[in-house]
Amino acid sequence: MIIVMKREATEAQIEAVVRKIREFGLDANVSKGTERTVIGAIGDERKLDPEQFDILAGVDQSLHIVKPYKIVAREWHPQDTVVDIRGVPLGGPQIQVIAGPCSVETDEQMARAAQAVVDAGCRLMRGGAFKPRTSPYTFQGKGVEGLAMFRQAADRHNLPIVTELMDVRTLETFLEYDVDVIQIGTRSMQNFDLLKEVGRISKPVILKRGMSATISEWLMAAEYIAAGGNHNIIFCERGIRTFETYYRNVLDVTAVPVLKRETHLPVIIDPSHAGGKAWMVPALARAAIAAGADGLLVEMHPSPCEAWCDADQALSPAELNTLMGELRGIAPVLGRSI
């Protein structure tokens, strides 16, 4: 951290800042220029908060010079991390497409969905047993019954499953059903108690970006998980809320190269929740892969018009097949495969 003093700062004020730094076990270097004095904190500056110094007399501003997120930052881990999901690598040269319905509905629906996922060439399946909904009067998911149906349908094809955890109290149930990847949804990105709990287990975690979260807030949310000991984290950009109303959310494709620069962890895209319409999904998915995403989280329903949740944005099995074919054409250009 560096602390820039005001031009009129006195020696006593400078010394007070130095003492404050040393109280935290760091050393201080005082550099006096012709117009300003700059004090550098030497050591683990993450112990320091700029707000602790900005209020001191004579201080103009203080700022970190290293990133506040240490474990997830690329500067401390230059090699890309590949998350192993029951033998399926996510984050390496092979791009993974996680497909399946928004919500678990019936045994027949899940059986048909699992078959469609396999037929399209996808290696992981998604599905919501617990559903966070804007209205309390809409379908909230099948809960534990849905987990059982999902697990049974996926196991027939040896598909690892991805599903959303909404409540700390449900974590033990997720472990009981051996959920392969726990998804933390956009509304829970800053549920810090939830992040701490999934940080204490070794299951891979997909961390979706909050509706209006900055990149820094998103990275710090991941740091909560990593600080607990779980480094199997996958970032998922799902669109952010802006003034635009034509589509559901604004897909921030820029987040892909930015995260690739800032973190060593895998980055995937959810084109379904970004566009909110099935006809938009292929274009957004193609853009995501071209931008360097490690995978996609795509909604597919065996009969989209009959879906109980988010019917407008679900692809049909035929549309998923077509999309996978298009992605197989894009990936080799980037030295990757689907």
Nearest to 117 by CA among 132, 131, 96: 96
333, exposed or middle or buried, with CB in 10 Å at 0-12, 13-18, 19+?
A: exposed
69 assigned to some structural domain = no
Assigned token pair, 188: 């829970």
User: Based on the domain organization, do 90 and 51 belong to the same domain?
Assistant: no
- DSSP secondary structure of 54-109: HTSTTEEEEE-SS-S--SSBGGG--SPP-EEETTEEESSSB-EEEEE-SB---HHH
User: Based on the domain organization, do 206 and 328 belong to the same domain?
Assistant: yes
Distance set, CA 37 to CA 22, 24, 33, 44, 92 (Å): 18, 21, 6, 21, 47
User: Based on the domain organization, do 45 and 89 belong to the same domain?
Assistant: no
Distance CA 285, CA 332 (A): 15
Assigned token pair, 40: 């550098």
User: Based on the domain organization, do 271 and 328 belong to the same domain?
Assistant: yes
Name the domain count of the chain: 2
In the chain, beta strands by DSSP E: 2-5, 27-32, 37-42, 59-63, 83-85, 88-90, 96-100, 124-126, 161-164, 181-184, 205-208, 233-237, 267-269, 295-299
Residue 133's pLDDT is what? Answer: 65
User: Based on the domain organization, do 134 and 44 belong to the same domain?
Assistant: no
159, exposed or middle or buried, with CB in 10 Å at 0-12, 13-18, 19+?
A: buried
| Domain that residue 59 falls in | 2-63
DSSP type of residue 187: G
User: Based on the domain organization, do 225 and 276 belong to the same domain?
Assistant: yes
**Strand 37-42 with 27-32, pairing:** antiparallel
Collect the ranges in the chain with pLDDT lower than 70: 34, 132-133, 137, 139-141
User: Based on the domain organization, do 256 and 122 belong to the same domain?
Assistant: yes
Residue 299: which residues within 8 A CB-CB, separation 6 or more? 99, 100, 101, 102, 126, 272, 273, 281, 310, 313, 314, 315
Contact between residue 338 and residue 324 where contact means Cβ atoms under 8 Å apart: yes
User: Based on the domain organization, do 181 and 98 belong to the same domain?
Assistant: yes
Query: What single-letter amino acid sits at 50?
Result: P
Residue 139's pLDDT is what? Answer: 65
Assigned token pair, 134: 């804007």
Contact between residue 57 and residue 13 where contact means Cβ atoms under 8 Å apart: yes
User: Based on the domain organization, do 174 and 40 belong to the same domain?
Assistant: no
Nearest to 132 by CA among 122, 141, 144: 141
Distance CA 13, CA 18 (A): 9
User: Based on the domain organization, do 189 and 293 belong to the same domain?
Assistant: yes
Assigned token pair, 185: 């949804």
The CATH code of the domain that includes 7 is 3.30.70.1140
Residue 78's pLDDT is what? Answer: 87
